[in-house]
């Protein structure tokens, strides 16, 4: 096994880049890399660790064939690796195999047609159609990519590293105007067209959880995109298939989505496998998905420790997010000690682990989360005595919340062109809601007559009632005329599923950028601004505490430190001295 080491700059620090072939990667190599806290970088396409002597000597002592690579050699190898990675992309490989089945006018490239019109840096290649999309494979050229992103009907397929262009005359005209030449064939999409072709969907039982069934589909972008429209589906990397609730309704919906195509269903399920009782609600689905994803990251002998941890968390009715956070921290802790039995890990080793995290720059809030995760395991699973947990906690940094002025908030709202995005931000600010509370809001939670919002199962599993601003009603009317959602107010790409928190955060980030606000403002900043502006308007802090759902008044009083009124009404001693001197000088004159 040959390993190449290279000095790289990653995440604002110098690192040791560790390069080796994919064939040499195994559990033994992974365990060695974990000992120096090495991580994999998708952008650098290598493993990396801290740039210090201890990591370097560890690599030299644990790997025999090590080569120190220069910058020039590394750039050459990167180009070779990039070319290889392009060759094995799923969609590109499938398209090349199918080239012979398509007419020649669908196999055009910028190099063959004209080097003068199309930017030669693109190395443009038009692949055979996939369903209702033309497929463009090209290199990244910033000005052209920026324009393509603005064209409605064009999107970047990250999985297959290709541009998908909707087969429509207007889209064709816009794209070709950007590229500078007519390169797309005149094969426009017809609604009656059979776009998916002949393929087979295989359905099998799921041994780990009989409430699910395994659905295997071909590696075809259009098939996968169609399947993603179904509610309650999720992809399992470990099984290489989609998992769906084993219910008759789900099977009916699956066949309905592919009814217009020549699809063959291979149903290997027993007769009594599909049951209505197998329907999985949102909470159960999130817990099940989180549990399976976490177990897939640990070796076999350590799964018993992780299972005990998760079973205890679920028995105590902790939320899926807490389950994921606590268990992930515990897995990282076990990985540091090579997945030893936690009962053999001493208190001194726990302290040494926390000290190392702080040394690596871990914030105090993250340190508290790690300590709480470990304390939960040893106290609730292993039933250690409380006296054994006299472990020092990291000192907290006292940071003030990031807030926006009323003028800044208004600029952010005006920068949102999408009615859904604007209403999400207006609710977060107007009612002081967390982003998770906004996206999980249901129509049944809003009382339009009494102008109240019932926030259910919020942080800490607490319900509360907040105001529904009168000024937001007109936005709700406009929104309901555009979006026909049934359960959740804001639905995501999958019908019946709530809008993703990550999408809401991205939407807010783009709005702040368009508003030219040079502050680090997130969706939670709108909640902070809600509390601060209420305090400045004279609202009693105890009412603000109830609106925000804080258990302790001390949590709410932090907004007094950022309140504009509290700062502006207090005069600096230097200003007082200057004013006194100015007054004395005026009297003398």
What is the phi/psi pair of residue 324, to 5°? -70, -45
- Looking at residue 274, its pLDDT comes to 92
In this structure, what is the dihedral angle of CA atoms 164, 168, 170, 173, given to the nearest 10 degrees? 60
Residues 6+ apart with CB under 8 A from 151: 171, 174, 175, 178
* CATH code given to domain 406-566: 1.10.443.10
Answering whether pTM is above 0.85, one says: no
- Gap between the Cα atoms of 471 and 358, Å rounded: 47
Domain ranges of the chain: 2-85, 90-179, 206-219+233-277, 283-389, 406-566
pLDDT tens digits for range 224-251 = 877 887 877 888 877 889 999 999 999 9
* Positions marked catalytic: 434, 459, 524, 527, 550, 559
* Tokens standing for residue 414: 């005006």
In this structure, what is the dihedral angle of CA atoms 407, 411, 414, 418, given to the nearest 10 degrees? -130
CA atoms within 13 A on the CB side of 45: 14
Q: DSSP alpha helices (H): ranges in 63-196?
A: 71-87, 90-97, 110-113, 142-148, 169-179
Question: Is 196 within 8 Å of 218 (Cβ atoms)?
Answer: no
CA atoms within 13 A on the CB side of 437: 30
What count of other Cβ atoms lies within 10 Å of the Cβ of residue 444?
A: 10
- Across the chain, what does the average pLDDT equal? 81
CA atoms within 13 A on the CB side of 411: 15
Question: Is 504 within 8 Å of 523 (Cβ atoms)?
Answer: yes
**Out of 46-50, 196-200, 265-269, 312-316, least confident range:** 196-200
- Gap between the Cα atoms of 377 and 329, Å rounded: 11
Query: How far from chain centre, in Å, is Cα 68?
Result: 36
- Indicate the pairing of strand 241-245 with strand 263-267: unpaired
- Gap between the Cα atoms of 123 and 138, Å rounded: 6
Please identify which residue in the block is written with the tokens 């259910």.
456
pLDDT tens digits for range 412-426 = 999 988 899 999 999
Q: Extract the runs of DSSP E, i.e. beta strands, from 232-312.
A: 234-236, 241-245, 263-267
* CATH code given to domain 283-389: 1.10.150.130
**Out of 131-135, 188-192, 197-201, 412-416, least confident range:** 188-192
Q: Best-predicted range by mean pLDDT among 15-24, 284-293, 398-407?
A: 15-24
Among residues of the chain, what percentage have pLDDT more than 90?
A: 22
* Tokens standing for residue 563: 């309140």
Mean pLDDT for the stretch of residues 134-148:
89
Per-residue pLDDT at 151 exceeds 80: yes
What count of other Cβ atoms lies within 10 Å of the Cβ of residue 347?
A: 13
Residues 6+ apart with CB under 8 A from 495: 229, 231
Q: Is 412 helix (H, G, I), strand (E, B) or coil?
A: helix
Return the CATH class of domain 2-85. alpha beta
With CA atoms as reference, report the closest residue to 89 among 219, 226, 237, 223.
219
With CA atoms as reference, report the closest residue to 475 among 465, 486, 455, 490.
490
Same-fold call for 283-389 versus 406-566 = no
- Gap between the Cα atoms of 406 and 392, Å rounded: 42
- Looking at residue 460, its pLDDT comes to 77
Q: Extract the runs of DSSP E, i.e. beta strands, from 406-504.
A: 446-447, 452-455, 464-467
- Looking at residue 563, its pLDDT comes to 67
- Looking at residue 255, its pLDDT comes to 86
pLDDT tens digits for range 106-116 = 333 333 334 44
pLDDT tens digits for range 501-512 = 989 999 999 999
Per-residue pLDDT at 220 exceeds 60: yes
Task: Strand 212-216: give its sheet, edge to edge.
Answer: 234-236, 241-245, 212-216, 199-205, 263-267
Q: At CB < 8 A and 24+ separation, what contacts does 383-392 make?
A: 388/347, 391/347, 391/350, 391/351, 391/354, 392/351, 392/354
């Amino acid at each position: 096994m040959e390993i190449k080491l290279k000095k790289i700059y990653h995440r604002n620090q110098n690192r040791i880049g560790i390069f080796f072939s994919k064939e040499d990667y195994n559990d033994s190599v992974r365990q060695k890399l974990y000992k120096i806290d090495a991580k994999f970088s998708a952008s650098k396409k290598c493993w990396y660790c801290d740039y210090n002597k201890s990591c370097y000597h560890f690599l030299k002592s644990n790997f025999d064939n090590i080569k120190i690579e220069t910058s020039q050699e590394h750039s050459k190898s990167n180009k070779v690796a990039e070319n290889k990675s392009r060759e094995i992309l799923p969609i590109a490989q499938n398209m090349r195999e199918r080239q012979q089945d398509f007419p020649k006018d669908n196999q055009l490239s910028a190099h063959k047609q004209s080097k003068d019109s199309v930017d030669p840096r693109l190395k443009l290649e038009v692949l055979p159609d996939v369903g209702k999309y033309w497929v463009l494979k090209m290199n990244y050229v910033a000005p052209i990519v920026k324009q393509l992103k603005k064209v409605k009907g064009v999107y970047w397929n990250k999985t297959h590293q290709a541009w998908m262009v909707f087969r429509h005359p207007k889209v064709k005209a816009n794209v070709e105007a950007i590229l500078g030449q007519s390169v797309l064939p005149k094969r426009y999409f017809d609604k009656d067209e059979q776009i998916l072709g002949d393929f087979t969907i295989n359905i099998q039982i799921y041994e780990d959880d009989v409430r699910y069934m395994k659905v295997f589909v071909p590696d075809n972008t259009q098939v996968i995109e169609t399947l993603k429209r179904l509610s309650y589906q999720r992809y399992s990397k470990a099984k290489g298939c989609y998992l769906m609730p084993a219910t008759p309704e789900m099977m009916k919906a699956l066949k309905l989505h592919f009814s217009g195509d020549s699809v063959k269903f291979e149903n290997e399920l027993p007769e009594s496998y599909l049951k209505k009782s197998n329907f999985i609600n949102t909470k159960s689905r999130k817990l099940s998905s989180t549990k399976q994803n976490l177990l897939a990251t640990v070796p076999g002998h350590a799964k018993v420790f992780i299972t005990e941890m998760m079973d205890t968390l679920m028995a105590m009715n902790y939320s899926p997010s807490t389950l994921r956070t606590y268990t992930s921290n515990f897995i990282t802790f076990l990985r540091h000690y090579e997945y030893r039995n936690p009962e053999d890990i001493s208190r001194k080793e726990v302290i040494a682990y926390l000290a190392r995290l702080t040394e690596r720059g871990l914030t105090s809030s993250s340190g508290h989360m790690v300590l709480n995760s470990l304390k939960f395991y040893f106290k609730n699973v292993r039933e250690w005595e409380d006296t054994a947990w006299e472990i020092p906690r990291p000192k907290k940094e006292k940071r003030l919340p990031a807030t926006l002025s009323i003028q800044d908030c208004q600029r952010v709202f005006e920068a949102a062109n999408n009615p859904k995005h604007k209403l999400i931000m207006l609710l977060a600010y107007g009612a002081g809601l967390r982003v998770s509370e906004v996206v999980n809001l249901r129509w049944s939670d809003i009382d339009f007559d009494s102008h109240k919002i019932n926030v259910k199962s919020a942080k800490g599993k607490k319900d509360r009632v907040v105001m529904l601003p009168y000024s937001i009603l007109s936005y709700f009317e406009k929104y309901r005329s555009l979006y026909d959602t049934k359960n959740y107010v804001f639905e995501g790409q999958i019908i019946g599923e709530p809008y993703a928190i990550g999408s809401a955060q991205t939407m807010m980030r783009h709005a702040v950028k368009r508003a030219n606000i040079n502050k680090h403002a997130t969706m939670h900043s709108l909640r902070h601004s809600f509390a601060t502006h209420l305090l400045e308007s004279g609202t009693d802090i105890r009412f603000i505490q109830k609106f925000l759902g804080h258990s302790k008044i001390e949590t709410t009083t932090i907004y007094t430190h950022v309140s504009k009124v509290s700062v502006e009404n207090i005069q600096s001693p230097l200003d007082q001295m200057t004013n006194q001197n100015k007054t004395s000088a005026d009297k003398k004159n």
